[in-house]
A and B are shown apart, each in its own frame.
Chain A
Amino acid sequence: MARYTLQRLIYMIITLFIIATATFFLMKLLPGSPLQNQEKLSPEQQKIILEKYGLNDPVPVQYVRYLGNLVKGDLGVSFQYDNRPVTQLIGDRIGPSAQLGFQALVFGTIVGILLGVIAAVRHNTAVDYGATVLAVLGISIPSFVFGGLLQYYIGVKLKLLPVAFWDGFEYTIMPTLALSVFVIASIARFMRTEMLEVLGSDYILTARAKGISGFGVIFKHGLRNAMIPIITILGPMAVNLMTGTLVIEQIFAVPGLGEQFVRSINLNDYPVIMGTTIFYSALFIFVIFIVDVLYGLIDPRIRLAGGKK
């Protein structure tokens, strides 16, 4: 297990290094300059600004300095917000995004598991078909379409919830709902399959034969075992939540990291784009790493297959 974990850890570092390098050189290729209104600035002024950001040095020097700073956890300073450090910017913005992601994950997982279990227990009935249709719809309808519809019907037409912005729990409800649709749908689909398989196994029959109530069998014996493989879809889920926050935060004007990222893209704020990219990637790679290790701990079969290589 230790060897497997170490192997994964090394891959994680290589991947991060490649991402950091690719990000740096792609940003160097970018058209556009951080200098606003450059025609109005005299060549001397331009030179001072470029020097201030270290953009006058040769690219390899910039690259080495960038990597060195990265190791120290310094992601540079923003062009757009008067030299504010990118790490500080990310720190300020991460709150709402993390809250939305977390709420969507918790809500989505609970509803998804319930939906999946009900579909499996009522296998091949109208309830099952209804849940299956809902799940396919949830996977197919893009989150921005769902978010837009929610905003229009619940916010604008019915005026039940605030349309946008970030000012208390009721402002988080619609974005959370829009984000959780995909989570609900994919967990429900997954849960249904796993549950059907588990419910058909012999130990469930034994439990029933011993006279345990239907409810007890499903939740104590069935659900526990069916839930283990859910860990495997946490990775794709994390990616989806990340993609989701970029769009959903735009729609609901949430002052989160995703909204900041999109704004920086449109303003050519390279350090923020680079910093956020590396932050997102590191987060993603870390989630995958944790998922792999957790799964190895829980299911010995994976550990053996991984360790023998």
Chain B
Amino acid sequence: MTEKQLSPELFELATERQGDMEKINRPSLTFLQDAWLRLRKNKGAVFGLIMIIVITLMAIFAPIMSDRTYKQQNLSHAKLPPRIPVLEHIDWLPFNGKDMNGINVYEKRGIKEYYWFGTDDLGRDLWTRTWYGARISLYIGVLAATIDLLIGIIYGGISGFYGGRVDNVMQRIIEVLVGIPNLIVVILFILVFEPGIISITMAMVITGWVTMARIVRGQILKLKNMEYVLAARTLGASDARIIGKHLLPNVVGPIIITTMFTIPSAIFTEAFLSFIGLGIRPPEASLGSLVNDGYKSIQTYPHLMMIPAFVISLLILSFNLLADGLRDALDPKMRK
């Protein structure tokens, strides 16, 4: 072993004041800022977030800006394939106004107007209907998730915080509810109450809140024995204050994650209901009912199914990607 020559220039004077070593050079970040930094690094989550924003904006503004309404029929313009200006010149895109046999239906029938996504068998504009449907689907998803959230937090919070007999009874109720297949309840509920936005949402909420309640309870059980809760209690804080100010803010991560997973599954359930004939009734439309209607004429007019199917898949995908990203960002321990 060769010995290394030690020379004076290899050494450096230690900092005079040791305190400088501990100095914090970066600004301290709050929990949410920290999570946002982590989320931004996740390409999938950023893609999901952008797509959700785009689809939401389209769902809000596209039906307003179009001069055709979602239920306006024009039988002379029925069953037109999609045609978009500029894009129509690119042959491999399906927006050239040509039908299955390669005939430009617009020229053949002498229609000057452009229907960007084509029209259905009653001549309703699919562009307006698709975005209107996206609006309904989003509305149902968000509404169901919000109600789940409210019931889940209250139920789970009370159950976890008070513990003992209260918790025992509340948990037994949940255990019975969990055993009931979601799907069956939803179908029965909608059979009794006519299909509509509210009845579909309520049907999903009946069993949907249980997941949220369980997660909130688990977190509260874990947190309520923390010392800062004891400190707050010693200072005379009321139960409501401890729950609202100390416990809930610390449960916010899992709550956001669960909500983000609830929305796509609610959108999916609504679409599924349309498919078995229990969905939104025409002329109203949701993405699910559009896919279902389009499916019936898939062999002759594939665009009627493909476009809504693409939008709903993209929407569910985006929510799943964002939810995955949020899970990693908000709770690094749960990182998969």
Contacts and interface: CB of A to CB of B under 8 A. Distances in A.
B114 interface: no
Interface size class of B (residues with CB under 8 A): 35 or more
Contacts of A144: 271-272, 275, 291-292, 295
A19 B299 contact: no
Contact of A136 (B180, B299, B312, B317): B317
Interface stretch (B81-89, B123-131, B184-192): B184-192
A18 B176 contact: yes
Interface of B: 44, 175-176, 179-185, 187-189, 191-192, 264, 268, 271-272, 275-278, 291-292, 295, 298-299, 302, 305, 309, 312-313, 316-317, 320-321, 324, 336
A153 B169 CA distance: 53
A266 interface: yes
A214 to B, nearest CB: 24
Given A262-B276, A266-B277, A26 B295 contact: no
Nearest to B313: A141
Nearest to A194: B336
A152 B179 contact: no
Given A18-B180, A148-B298, A280-B181, A265 B271 contact: no
B120 to A, nearest CB: 16
A78 B189 CA distance: 21
28 contacts: A15-B176, A15-B180, A19-B180, A22-B185, A23-B188, A26-B189, A27-B188, A136-B324, A140-B316, A141-B317, A144-B292, A144-B295, A145-B309, A152-B298, A152-B299, A193-B336, A246-B275, A246-B276, A247-B276, A250-B275, A262-B277, A266-B277, A277-B184, A280-B183, A281-B180, A281-B181, A285-B181, A288-B179
Given A145-B313, A148-B305, A26 B179 contact: no
B192 A148 contact: no
Contacts of A136: 44, 317, 320-321, 324
A29 interface: yes
Contact of B183 (A14, A29, A242): A242
